[in-house]
């Protein structure tokens, strides 16, 4: 059995979900991969909270450098969220010779070059499957199994909050404000829903997809972005009269030889695979010049789906160590 020690930055909901994913499936992971994965140090202030998992108090630290300089740790998982200090911590970890796994779309979108260059310079791996589509293994597919394709189009439903709101408006005739309030009550939307409903969360994800699938580096704030807060019941009805549903779609495609990209509420005809993606689910529709049309569907958020993606990246790295 190959032992691999892991440092974890942040044990909020996603960090706890990642820890739980590893603990509940430890036996299977060991049997299938021969890897003994251990989260040995955790950067986290709140050491008292009951997380429903058994964590040794000795694992907690308030000193990030104690993780980056620990010669026993090979992989650092960053789940703090936000651009800083997450980016600085990831760079420090890679400069310390650790491979890094993150779910942090904001940091990856903002600092893609610096992070990927630090990985190359230090001969370590940098993976961020969980940053787009949560548990859906879309980034691994785009940069692995599908690499023999030229991608011609990507369309994604990449935000569960807005998809939940639009689904309620479509299926139950709710007004936008009612559906938003329900999403907030169910924990699918935050008290300040701006980043979700105005599309800035999706812009981070589309920026990452543009980098990986098209080699095109665009800052998220440069992506033309329209959210869903102006969508009315009448808009939903007008779409329905044309056999369509309205979805918040992140698009990238070639037209006249140029790469176009934008985020906008979009009429999707009911026969399109993305039209049936409802509630908090996400999906990514990809066209490749060999494979044709593909779609990947699943949960785009949540502690365990995100934990699945994070631990998948950890396993891929640990196998190659």
Enumerate the active-site residues. 205
Question: Which of 12, 81, 85, 276 touches a copy of itself (CB under 8 A)?
Answer: 276
Longest dimension (CA), the chain: 63
14 binds a copy of itself per the rule CB under 8 A: no
Contact window for a copy of itself (CB under 8 A) among 78-86, 102-110, 254-262, 308-316: 308-316
Stretch of 71-79, 109-117, 138-146, 201-209 lying at the interface with a copy of itself (CB under 8 A): 138-146
Three-state secondary structure of the chain = CEEEEEEEECCCHHHHHHHHHHHHCHHHHHHHHCEEEEEEEEECCCCCCCCCCCCCHHHEECCHHHHHCCCCEEEEEECCCCCCCHHHHHHHHHHCCCEEEECCHHHHHHCHHHHHHHHHHHCCCEECHHHCCCCCCHHHHHCCCCCCCCEEEEEEECCHHHHHHHHHHHHHCCCHHHHHHHHHHCCCCCCCCHHHHCCHHHHHHHHHHHHHHHCCCCCHHHCCECCCCCCCHHHHHHHHHCCEEEEEEEEEEEECCEEEEEEEEEEEECCCHHHHCCCCEEEEEEEECCCEEEEEEEECCCHHHHHHHHHHHHHHHHHHC
Could you tell me which stretch among 63-71, 113-121, 241-249, 288-296 binds a copy of itself (CB under 8 A)? 288-296
Quick check: 298 binds a copy of itself (CB under 8 A)?
Answer: yes
Question: Which of 55, 141, 181, 195 contacts a copy of itself by CB under 8 A?
Answer: 141
Q: Does 1 bind a copy of itself (CB under 8 A)?
A: no
Q: Contact 149/288 with Cβ under 8 angstroms?
A: yes
Rounded CA-CA distance 86/179 in Å is 33
CB of residue 134 to a copy of itself, shortest distance in Å: 8
Give the residue, chosen from 13, 149, 152, 264, that forms a contact with a copy of itself under the rule CB under 8 A. Answer: 149
**Lookup: tokens for 190:** 């935050």
The yes or no reply on residue 172 touching a copy of itself (CB under 8 A) is: no
Contact between 193 and a copy of itself (CB under 8 A)? no
Among 7, 10, 15, 135, binds a copy of itself (CB under 8 A): 135
The 92-121 site mask, x for binding a copy of itself (CB under 8 A), equals ------------------------------
Piece of the chain touching a copy of itself by CB under 8 A; list 15-23, 55-63, 114-122, 154-162: 15-23
Q: How far is the CB of 61 from a copy of itself (least distance, A)?
A: 24
Using CB under 8 A as the binding rule, the residues of this chain from 32 to 51 that contact a copy of itself are 32-33
Closest distance of CB 8 from a copy of itself, Å = 15
Residue 270 to residues 42, 45, 267, 274, Cα–Cα distance (Å): 46, 48, 9, 8
Contact between 140 and a copy of itself by CB under 8 A: the answer reads yes
Q: Check binding of 23 to a copy of itself (CB under 8 A).
A: no
Two tokens, residue 23 = 């603990």
297 binds a copy of itself (CB under 8 A): yes
Residues forming the site for a copy of itself (CB under 8 A): 17, 20-22, 24-25, 28-29, 31-33, 129, 135-137, 140-141, 144-150, 215, 271, 273, 276, 278, 281, 288-299, 302, 304-305, 307-309, 311-316
């Amino acid at each position: 059995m190959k032992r691999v020690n892991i440092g974890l930055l942040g044990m909020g909901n996603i960090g706890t979900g990642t820890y739980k994913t590893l603990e509940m499936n430890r036996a299977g992971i060991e049997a299938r991969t021969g890897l003994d994965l251990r989260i040995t140090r955790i950067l986290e202030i709140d050491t008292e909270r009951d997380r429903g998992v058994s964590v040794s108090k000795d694992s907690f630290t308030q000193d990030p450098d104690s993780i980056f300089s620990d010669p026993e740790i090979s992989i650092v998982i960053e789940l703090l969220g936000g651009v800083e200090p997450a980016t600085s911590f990831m760079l420090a970890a890679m400069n310390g010779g650790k491979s890094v796994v993150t779910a942090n779309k904001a940091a990856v979108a903002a600092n893609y070059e610096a992070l990927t260059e630090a990985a190359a310079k230090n001969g370590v791996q940098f993976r961020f499957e969980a940053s787009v589509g949560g548990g859906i293994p879309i980034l691994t597919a785009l940069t692995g199994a599908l690499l023999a394709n030229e991608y011609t189009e990507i369309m994604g439903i990449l935000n569960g909050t807005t998809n939940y709101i639009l689904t309620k408006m479509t299926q139950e005739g709710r007004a936008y404000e009612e559906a938003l309030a329900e999403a907030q009550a169910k924990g699918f939307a935050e008290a300040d829903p701006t980043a979700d409903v105005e599309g800035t969360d999706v812009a981070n994800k589309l920026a990452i997809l543009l980098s990986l699938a098209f080699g095109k580096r665009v800052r998220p704030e440069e992506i033309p972005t329209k959210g869903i807060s102006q969508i009315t019941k009448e808009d939903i009805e007008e779409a329905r009269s044309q056999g369509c549903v309205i979805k918040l779609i992140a698009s990238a495609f070639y037209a006249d030889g140029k790469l176009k990209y934008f985020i906008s509420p979009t009429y999707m005809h009911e026969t399109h695979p993305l039209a049936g993606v409802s509630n908090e689910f996400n999906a990514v529709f990809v066209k490749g010049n060999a494979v044709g049309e593909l779609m990947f569907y699943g949960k785009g958020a949540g502690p365990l789906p995100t934990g699945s993606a994070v631990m998948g990246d950890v396993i891929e790295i640990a196998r190659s160590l």
